[in-house]
Amino acid sequence: MTQTPITDIDLHAYVDGQVDATRRAEIEAYLAANQAAAATVREYRRLNRRLHEEFDDVLNEPVPHAMIRVSRRQPFDVIRRIAAVLVLVVVGGAGGWVLNDLSAAQGDPVGAAFPERAGIVHAIYSAERRHAVEVASDERPHLVAWLTNRLGTDVKLPDLTEAGFQLVGGRLLPGESKPAAHFLYEDVEGRRVTLYMRHGDTGGRDTRFSFADENGVGVYYWINGQTGYALAASLEREDLLKVAKIVYHQLGG
Amino acid sequence: MQEKDRLIIEQIPRLRRYARALTGNANAAEDLVQDCLERSWNKFHLWQRGSNMRAWMFTIMHNIHVNQVRKAISRPTVVSLAEWTDDRGVKPVQEKRVEVRNVGAALELLPEEQRAVVLLIGLEELSYLEVAKVLDIPIGTVMSRLSRGRERLRQMLSDVGVEPKETVTET
């Protein structure tokens, strides 16, 4: 039986999980008989671990508003802009000014509506499996005290056990004029829901329990005076509704 | 939020991590991410639906970064290419083992192209084939850069590695 010799390239590919099962078995047999190669593999693995230790914290940092841009949604919006440009061009060649105006109109994330903002938060922070929260659930009292203090209102954490979701943790996020709170819950299948909460910069308009579809992320939300809550997830709408109702009843509408 | 927005936004944390590791500088990294996002939004129509969004955005980021590095090198006031390469570690490592305790510092001493490969594979966990596409190089080149880059990192960090508790000495 012949076998391709094991090279340094194979050791790297083995460490990075880039070999098929047959080759993996061959490499493992080789490593069992070759201590120096086994030590090299351990060092390469350790190197990868150190890269994660050094840089994974970046995943936890709140994303600056300037990086988030959302497209305005309605075709109507585009038509209106084109009309505005035409008018200005006709009136008198103010091209540069028009361009400025357009780029500003394209994406002020701070102006994103409350449910849209919750959808964005879910999209950013629930994709990453490893580092999705700043403060983990085992520091629950600290998390609640810290966010209560920063938001300037009582922050309560809903218990979603009955829907099968457990708290993963939470973080403080920059809101519009005041910070916002973000909590992440997860069920045994790894499905995640985002609870987004704001106090004081909701515009003060009461909003009844409502639904918004943010393209793949569903959002139930309500605003009660100064405090707004939103529950966002990529779940079946009925499943999300079930969780949202629990939150609504526990936190008060 | 449109689907396009969601697909792009989801990648931001990883783009930031890679940019930080690649540039070794928080401000430069944020600028790089910002440029990459702008271009991704503008060129989204060129993204092939169903293909890997992350790899697509890393490609964009890589192209921007390469141009920036090239510009920095061609600026006459900056050191020559030879000096620059030496500065980035070839000589110090050979002449005298530099004590590097921190992976970030060791990465900075790697040649640019090896650093990108080591990070895309070791940190971002892209496949070799994806890295070949992102960097627009043959897969054999990916492997040789990975091999050389990792070996060099290992040498730089191995002085520290023999100490049982090296993390304690870090501040």
Q: What is the pLDDT of residues B9-21, one digit of tens each?
A: 999 999 999 999 9
Residues B85 and B164 in one domain: yes
More confident site: B97 or B123 = B123
What is the extent of the structural domain holding B11? 1-78
When pLDDT is averaged across residues B151-171 and rounded to a whole number, the result is 60
Q: Which of A14, A41, A47 to mutate to test the interface with B (most CBs of B within 10 A)?
A: A47
More confident site: A250 or B95 = A250
Residue B169: pLDDT band with limits 50, 70, 90: very low
Alpha carbon distances (Å) from B72 to A190, B62, B106, B111: 45, 15, 21, 15
Q: What is the pLDDT of residues A169-194, one digit of tens each?
A: 999 988 777 889 999 999 999 999 99
Looking at residue A216, its pLDDT comes to 83
Question: From CA A222, how far away is CA B143, in angstroms rounded?
Answer: 53
Question: From CA B153, how far away is CA B100, in angstroms rounded?
Answer: 10
Q: Which of B39, B57, B78 is the last residue of a domain?
A: B78
Q: Are strands A218-224 and A166-173 parallel, antiparallel or unpaired?
A: unpaired
Looking at residue A104, its pLDDT comes to 33
B33 Cβ contact partners less than 8 Å away, ≥ 6 residues apart: A67, B12, B15, B16, B19, B61
Residues B107 and B45 in one domain: no
Question: From CA A133, how far away is CA A60, in angstroms rounded?
Answer: 6
Looking at residue B11, its pLDDT comes to 94
Looking at residue B82, its pLDDT comes to 54
Percent of chain B with pLDDT over 70: 77
Regions of chain A with pLDDT less than 50: 77, 88-89, 91-111
Q: A114-251 architecture in CATH?
A: 2-Layer Sandwich (3.30)
Closest CA to A183 of A151, A210, A206: A151
Q: Do B64 and B116 contact (CB within 8 A), yes or no?
A: no
A207-243 burial string, b = 16+ CB within 10 Å, else e? eeeeebebbebbbbbbbeeebbbbbbbbbeeebbbeb
Q: Do A233 and A218 contact (CB within 8 A), yes or no?
A: yes
CATH of the domain at B119: 1.10.10.10
Q: Is A230 helix (H, G, I), strand (E, B) or coil?
A: strand
Q: What angle do CA A87, A92, A98 make, to 5 degrees?
A: 65
Residues B87 and B60 in one domain: no
- Residue A133: closest CA among chain B residues belongs to which residue? B13
- For residue B104, pLDDT beyond 50: yes
Looking at residue A2, its pLDDT comes to 61
A195 Cβ contact partners less than 8 Å away, ≥ 6 residues apart: A158, A182, A183, A184, A185, A229, A230, A231, A247
What is the number of domains present in chain B?
2
Alpha carbon distances (Å) from A177 to A86, A134, A171, A199: 35, 21, 17, 10
Residues B84 and B138 in one domain: yes
Residues B43 and B20 in one domain: yes
Contact call for B123 and A8, based on CB within 8 A = no
Q: Do B147 and A8 contact (CB within 8 A), yes or no?
A: yes
- Domain boundaries, given as residue ranges, for chain A: 8-59, 71-106, 114-251
Q: Do B120 and B44 contact (CB within 8 A), yes or no?
A: no
The residue behind tokens 């970046």 is A58
Q: Do A16 and B68 contact (CB within 8 A), yes or no?
A: no
Show which residues on chain A lie within 8 Å of chain B, measured between beta carbons. 8-9, 12-13, 16, 18, 43-44, 46-48, 50-56, 58-59, 61, 63-64, 66-71, 73, 112, 116, 119-120, 123-125, 127-128, 131, 214-217
Looking at residue A96, its pLDDT comes to 38
Q: Do A196 and A118 contact (CB within 8 A), yes or no?
A: yes
Looking at residue B1, its pLDDT comes to 80
Residues B127 and B51 in one domain: no
Closest CA to B125 of B52, B65, B60: B52
CATH of the domain at B50: 1.10.1740.10
Residues B54 and B84 in one domain: no
- For residue B83, pLDDT beyond 80: no
Residues B27 and B40 in one domain: yes
Query: CA quadruple B115, B117, B121, B126: dihedral positive or negative?
Result: positive
Alpha carbon distances (Å) from B130 to A49, A251, B20, B139: 21, 46, 20, 9
Q: What is the pLDDT of residues B106-145, one digit of tens each?
A: 999 999 999 999 999 999 999 999 999 999 999 999 999 9
Residues B8 and B72 in one domain: yes
Residue B81: pLDDT band with limits 50, 70, 90: low
Q: Which of B30, B57, B78 is the last residue of a domain?
A: B78
Looking at residue B99, its pLDDT comes to 60
Looking at residue A25, its pLDDT comes to 95
Residues B27 and B104 in one domain: no
Residue B77: pLDDT band with limits 50, 70, 90: low
Residues B160 and B116 in one domain: yes
Looking at residue B155, its pLDDT comes to 87
Residues B47 and B110 in one domain: no
Which residues in chain B have Cβ-Cβ distances shorter than 8 Å to A18? 127-128
The minimum CA-CA distance between A228 and chain B, rounded to whole Å, is 19
More confident site: B38 or A109 = B38
Q: Which of B35, B52, B78 is the last residue of a domain?
A: B78
